[in-house]
Amino acid sequence: MKQSLTFIPTLREAPKEAEIASHKLLLRAGFIKQIAAGVYTYLPLGLRVLRKIESIIREELEAIGCSELLMPAMQPAELWKESGRWDDYGQTMMRMKDRHDRDFALGPTHEEVITYVIRDYLNSYKKMPLALYQIQTKFRDELRPRFGLMRGREFVMKDAYSFHTNEESLDEWYQNFKQAYINIFDRCKLEFRMVDADNGDMGGSESTEFMVLNKIGEDTIVYSDSSDFASNIEVHNLEEGAKSPDGNGTIKHAKGIEVGHVFKLGAKYSEKMNAMFINENQKRHPVLMGCYGIGVSRVMMAIIEQYNDENGIVWPKELAPFDVHLICIDPRKDEQSQAAEKLYNEFMKNKIDVLYDDRRERPGVKFSDADLIGIPVRITVGRGIKDGKVEVKYRNRDEVIEVDIDEVKNNL
Ligand code: ATP
Ligand code: MG
Ligand code: MG
Ligand code: MG
């Protein structure tokens, strides 16, 4: 993609409302633009990263046998009245009326809709297990939208739902999902922990949160230094410094960003919404459910929170908006622009995602924008091209290496 043709509105200073590194950098590097409190546009660079995270999620979920669907954001009140959450959900739910004065909500989550979608179909034990997911926009009128995409009022979530005839099957899939989440967050290069969690508004019997360790996190993780984070010990309401319940260590607290959450819902929604199946013995039973969320847009910020330096974002390879940032120092000089253009076409031919800075800007502006945007490899075509040389620099290293342009081509 040519930088002169795309839209990357970089800023010298971060807007005042940005408090944390990832929010400042996403704004400054031209990845997102705020439209209202907690409501953002993903600009071309931001959208590319979001799509990369989404494709990692898709790959890992399809690998365990999940199928993708897409449910509506606009949801009729009737379904929420069936589950009882029309009244319980409170002000976090964005509500509206249609022209006939009928109540609707913009979905904060999709348990009600998915239960409606499957309930006629899942009438027999032969049709389970079944697992479905979507990647979709959610709406929550958060009391304190803040930290950019971290706590949005409109945000992208991956939500999945599984359906079972018995507890063993639910547990097996719950474990499969946990492993898929581990794979996803590993591939997103995040340092995270799994912790036992309260089920909160969702109901159900068991739930696990995936927490990225970070000081800006709004959740407190309680763990014992004698064991893994929150591994199977009852850690609720334990003061920091107290003796841990297993007697071997001390209770510690750490801050975490909740990037994912998996729940065993059991029969909570199927009983209320009448999702029943006939078992092997011709008896009617409520379908057992699990649900599994990932905050896709929040993950993008958590990654940046972990990968940045004083000059900008330092993208891990698998998540970067482009593989290579190609810079032409002076596009008015034919020998530079021709060589850069040729290299650009070679990259494209070899299916390497390249952002080509062909703008008529000062080199200083190009380099500082490149650092800010954080693409892993920078290749600069400048004066050295008359001897067939270009400069290569990795975003996470200091040295600049001069190499033959042919060597770059041969190593594509
Ligand atoms: P939080 O505790 O941060 O409010 P939650 O527990 O209410 O999150 P869930 O209902 O478990 O969220 O939703 C699944 C995932 O969606 C969360 O783990 C989180 O990553 C993401 N998420 C939730 N609320 C937001 C939000 N307002 N903005 C961005 N992502 C969110
Ligand atoms: Mg919440
Ligand atoms: Mg939570
Ligand atoms: Mg949660």
What is the domain-level CATH number for residue 331? Answer: 3.40.50.800
- Dihedral-angle region of residue 189 (phi above 0 means left; psi in -120 to 50 means alpha; beta otherwise): left
Query: In angstroms, what is the span from residue 60 Cα to ligand 3's centroid?
Result: 23
pLDDT value of residue 172: 98
User: Which CATH number does the domain housing residue 140 bear?
Assistant: 3.30.930.10
317 within a domain of the structure (yes/no): no
The residue among 309, 341, 370 that closes a domain is 309
In the three-class reduction of DSSP (H, G, I as helix; E, B as strand; rest coil), residue 63 is classed as: helix
Query: In angstroms, what is the span from residue 382 Cα to ligand 1's centroid?
Result: 47
- Whole-angstrom Cα distance, residue 381 to residue 140? 47
User: In sequence order, what are the beta bridge partners of 163?
Assistant: 130, 289
- Whole-angstrom Cα distance, residue 241 to residue 250? 6
> In testing the pocket of ligand 1, which one of 42, 142, 157 has its CB within 8 Å of the most ligand atoms?
157
Q: How far is CA 340 from CA 8, 247, 279, 344, in A?
A: 20, 65, 67, 6
User: Taking CB atoms and a 6 Å cutoff, what residues make up the pocket around ligand 1?
Assistant: 109, 140, 142, 151-152, 155, 157, 258-261, 293, 295, 297-298
Helix (H) / strand (E) containing 128 = none
Over the stretch 155-214, which tens digit does the pLDDT of each residue have?
Answer: 999 999 999 999 999 999 999 999 999 999 999 999 999 988 866 666 667 899 999 999
Over the stretch 44-58, which tens digit does the pLDDT of each residue have?
Answer: 999 999 999 999 999
**Same domain for 299 and 353?**
no
- Dihedral-angle region of residue 54 (phi above 0 means left; psi in -120 to 50 means alpha; beta otherwise): alpha
User: In sequence order, what are the beta bridge partners of 332?
Assistant: none
**Same domain for 107 and 230?**
yes
**Same domain for 182 and 74?**
yes
Supply the range of the domain harboring residue 397.
324-411
**Same domain for 299 and 388?**
no
The residue among 257, 284, 309 that closes a domain is 309
Whether the Cβ atoms of residue 25 and residue 313 lie closer than 8 Å to each other? yes
**Same domain for 236 and 105?**
yes
The residue among 255, 275, 309 that closes a domain is 309
pLDDT value of residue 199: 64
**Same domain for 146 and 193?**
yes
318 within a domain of the structure (yes/no): no
Query: In angstroms, what is the span from residue 260 Cα to ligand 4's centroid?
Result: 7
How would you classify the pairing of strands 284-286 and 219-224?
unpaired
- Whole-angstrom Cα distance, residue 184 to residue 53? 9
pLDDT value of residue 293: 98
In the three-class reduction of DSSP (H, G, I as helix; E, B as strand; rest coil), residue 280 is classed as: coil
**Same domain for 288 and 365?**
no
Query: In angstroms, what is the span from residue 260 Cα to ligand 3's centroid?
Result: 9
**Same domain for 300 and 389?**
no
* 244 pLDDT higher than 90: no
Over the stretch 266-283, which tens digit does the pLDDT of each residue have?
Answer: 999 999 999 999 999 999
**Same domain for 71 and 157?**
yes
Query: In angstroms, what is the span from residue 93 Cα to ligand 1's centroid?
Result: 13
Whether the Cβ atoms of residue 363 and residue 355 lie closer than 8 Å to each other? no
How much is the pTM?
0.95
Q: Average pLDDT of 349-362? A: 97
**Same domain for 98 and 210?**
yes
| Number of structural domains the chain divides into | 2
**Same domain for 360 and 247?**
no
In the three-class reduction of DSSP (H, G, I as helix; E, B as strand; rest coil), residue 57 is classed as: helix
pLDDT value of residue 242: 84
| Nearest protein CA to atom 4 of ligand 1, as residue | 151
**Same domain for 391 and 257?**
no
| Nearest protein CA to atom 24 of ligand 1, as residue | 151
* 232 pLDDT higher than 60: no
